[in-house]
Structure 1
């Protein structure tokens, strides 16, 4: 993989693990928390998106709107499902399963749909990443009910991750949409989709903002930052390599869940993390 792509993916992993730790701390926020983060994120990203349009000097294409609308729908589903998962399960269950299912489906679809042919070492690394992620997820840590809920939402999240990874990769490569423009537009449509629901519950929105302002702003900044870095990486390396490599965030998220959230079973989760690191190293060497 291109060295710049590796650096981008590593930076994205740090940002991604960070915003998920913040999101987990607001398990009862649901769609209203997602709407607040989308509004703040859109406001933060708008100047960058406009700047990207002005710098390119190219006319705005209709396909850019299509890319942002579809991406906005998929990302909204992802964030809402993720928050629901965090309300019923541990981060160290939901997060690894979501991140593990996503690249597994992404690699398979990239090979099938885009006819990518990654090297054998890269495929072995991708398989190691997926295996490590599932070991980290284990059998849950908060009881039977939490495991059942965590698994269901984790797999649903993984499906949406694979879907938006493939769509957004298509948007920035085939449609040639700037990652800054795509992410800014996506956040705007996320906010628009959830606006009717949020505006009908203004009191709850005000409470969530008052009690969780730091978490809202952290997710609003770190979530698009992590994904923009990935989108730029996709311009330097194929999706079948970038999608699994970004799962290094699983290691950071699992360590954070242990140290900051006090979730148990650190030995098993760190063992899985070592396998993930080995997989990422194999992907980088391919």
Structure 2
């Protein structure tokens, strides 16, 4: 794995864990999802417009790829927020991040024809195992079953959109910013009727938490754009497991700042994850 690819995914992991923490802390519904998606449009709009005008690969498959990513990401965000309202960040997030790379790596092998070197497979397996153990079973959460089920469902969508988007940016050569922007447009349009009906909550979110919402808008898109750029020259089987570094940060934030506990045990498994990251990064 190249140093550039490693650096992009690592930076994305920090941004990803941070916006997940903010979403959990605000504990909002789909109105929050609509608000930060809508706010990201003017932030990344000039870049997306320039790329849309200069992109020479417009075709039926390209349009399909953009529509598909919007639908998959909308489902992911809705499930993620629903889970955060009833479960623990330090259980849902690790479970989702463990399930996602397993499915995305398998789909990449089957659908994209990507090879799986033995060292990369070992590193990825260690990362996924460490992340799974972070959930800690029933003693790791007051709401274990519900949190675990939401985590598995979110992870399934992570695996699906990772391979779908990898196809878009690496095979169809769609610019990563444009790929992510299509997702933000889709969420903004499809959720607007719901947000309009709950406009009082939208206004309250903006009035009371505007800086947190703006941070989510910037970090959410920024994190995934970095991942998409990495996918343009790095196979999914490297990128998907390495993204799990974000779990270390999410566990720390959830255990310490949100009072979800189990810090010592969870950080022990974090060491296992870091060992897997080292093996994967040097393969």
TM-score of the superposed pair, with normalisation by structure 2: 0.95
Alpha-carbon RMSD: 1.5
Q: 1:236 is matched with which residue: 233, 236, 244?
A: 233
* Cα distance in 1, alignment partners of residues 26 and 144 from structure 2: 19
Q: Could you tell me whether the CA contact under 8 Å between 2:55 and 2:174 is conserved in 1?
A: no
Q: 2:40 aligns to what?
A: 41
CA distance in 2, matches of 1:221, 1:45: 9
Distance 1:59 1:129, change over 3 A: closer
1:1-286 residue pairs with structure 2 within 5 A?
1-27=1-27, 29-54=28-53, 56=54, 58=56, 60-139=58-137, 141-143=140-142, 146-286=143-283
CA contact (8 A) 2:69 2:161 kept: yes
Tell me if the contact between 1:95 and 1:250 (Cα under 8 Å) persists in the aligned partners.
yes
The count of aligned residue pairs is: 282
Q: How far 1:161 moved relative to its partner?
A: 0.4
**Conserved 8 A contact 1:2-1:236:** no
Structure 1 pair 58/139, CA: closer, same or farther in 2 (3 Å)? same
Distance in 1, matches of 2:197 and 2:255, equals: 37
Give the secondary-structure state (helix, strand or coil) at the position aligned to 1:117.
Answer: coil
Contact 1:40-1:217 at 8 Å conserved across structures: yes
Q: Distance in 1 between matches of 2:39 and 2:58?
A: 24
Q: Secondary structure at the match of 1:192?
A: helix
Q: For residue 262 of structure 1, report the CA deviation from its aligned partner.
A: 2.5
Residues 59 and 89 (structure 1), Cα distance of their counterparts in 2 relative to 1, 3 Å cut: closer
Shift of 1:259: 2.7
Describe the superposition over 1:185-211 as per-residue Cα deviations: whole angstroms up to 9, x where unpaired: 210111111111111222222222223
Shift of 1:53: 3.3
User: Counterparts of 2:5 and 2:57 in 1: how far apart (Å)?
Assistant: 28
Map Cα deviations across residues 126-163 of structure 1 (whole Å, 9 max, x no partner). 111111101111125442xx212111111110011001
Shift of 1:212: 2.6
Q: Counterparts of 2:64 and 2:190 in 1: how far apart (Å)?
A: 15
Mapped contact 1:65–1:185 kept (Cα < 8 A): no
Larger mean CA deviation between 203-212 and 35-44 belongs to 203-212
Q: What runs of 5+ residues in structure 2 fail to find an aligned partner? A: none
- Find the residue that maps to 1:25 and give its secondary structure: helix
Q: Alpha-carbon deviation of 1:78?
A: 0.6
